[in-house]
Amino acid sequence: MDHYYWFALKSAPLVGNVTFLRLLSRFGTPERVLEASPQELSEVRGVSPQAATSIAGHDYAHQASSECEKVRALGVDVIDILSDRYPRLLMEIPDPPPYFYLKGALSGSETAVAMVGSRRASQYGLCTATRLARDLALQGVTVVSGMARGIDTAAHWGALKAGGRSVAVLGCGIDLVYPPENGALYQALAESGALISEFPMGTPPQAENFPRRNRIISALSRGVLVVEAGEASGSLITAHYALEQGREVFAVPGNVSVSGSRGVNGLIKEGAKLVERVEDILEELGLEPQANLPLPKPSSFELNPQEAELYALICQGALQIDDIIVQSALTASEVSATLLRLEMKGAIVQLPGKRFAVA
């Protein structure tokens, strides 16, 4: 029950992140905050008499005990702001979470770039996100995103499949997989990267949670890369947080005739760094390309007849595995095995939704 009183104080009505941290600064520990009188609590800046009464009279035992049990059952870590494992970059924002839940491992010294974009991404956006995430990973850069559909999912997989690290910041409790089809990605991130959430266990993925989690995505990163976004995209919220936090903002230019490109092209008009390749990001961040980690060059590979048939199909455009089965002369099991071989040869890449495209 290491964080019993942390959970207790956070569950008190009228206690947000800023108030929590002010109380922690004044009393030293959450336990002492909960032991304080309403008079002592109201002496803290920003704590109204109503909030002081609410905190002092808060019945927290059941909720805090339940949260401790859930944390133990799932085997997650809770990293509080007093811990040396708490990321220093996260402390720089105006309202850092007093603690967060963690599956996997965070490195306090890792260089990270966030990658965000449309949930309804085009083939161009998905392929670009996968390529840039892979190239960042090959340069030793951690890719941070939000595990949403579309660009986020492509970014995570691009980094992980290149043997790199990726971090997902969730807009729900860390015990939930959202979207549900990302179960395999959730597990891969827990094993080869990290998942973090500031929301209590069991918190559903409500719309208001995602703008809040976006500030953490940008805070953990040296810069934010927007790959594809319309004018009302939530990705623009992340970009604006990045600017407020003094982070770099990068953008991949999109087709001017497509509405889904207006947001990202607008960022470039406003001064975001235009990105075509990973070197554009490394240069802006002052990072030297690592020559000992060359990018893969899948332009030369030998294919057997089955591989050549599927490769020719995919060259015409990204296809879902069911479409490949229908259009080929192979069985479902033969298609799966052949696609795996093509991936291993670097000829194709798998995109979200069991879609495959030329690498």
pLDDT tens-digit readout, 179-234: 998 998 999 999 999 999 999 999 999 999 999 999 999 999 999 999 988 776 77
Q: Which residues, 6 or more positions from 69, have their beta carbon under 8 angstroms from its beta carbon? A: none
Q: What is the mean pLDDT of residues 9-33?
A: 94
Task: Give the pLDDT confidence score for residue 299 in this predicted structure.
Answer: 44
Identity of the residue numbered 77 = D
Q: What is the mean pLDDT of residues 51-77?
A: 94
Residue 266 has pLDDT above 90, yes or no: no
Left, alpha or beta for 103 (phi > 0: left; psi -120 to 50: alpha)?
beta
Domains annotated for the chain, with CATH where assigned, are: 1-74 (1.10.150.20), 112-285 (3.40.50.450), 305-358 (1.10.10.10)
Highest mean pLDDT among 215-224, 286-295, 322-331, 339-348: 215-224
Task: Give the pLDDT confidence score for residue 291 in this predicted structure.
Answer: 58
Q: Decide: pTM greater than 0.85.
A: no
Task: Give the pLDDT confidence score for residue 226 in this predicted structure.
Answer: 92
Task: Give the pLDDT confidence score for residue 301 in this predicted structure.
Answer: 62
Identity of the residue numbered 229 = A
Task: Give the pLDDT confidence score for residue 136 in this predicted structure.
Answer: 95
Mean pLDDT, rounded, of the chain: 89
Residue 24 has pLDDT above 90, yes or no: yes
Task: Give the pLDDT confidence score for residue 30 in this predicted structure.
Answer: 96
Per-residue confidence at 235, pLDDT binned at 50, 70, 90?
A: confident
Task: Give the pLDDT confidence score for residue 297 in this predicted structure.
Answer: 41
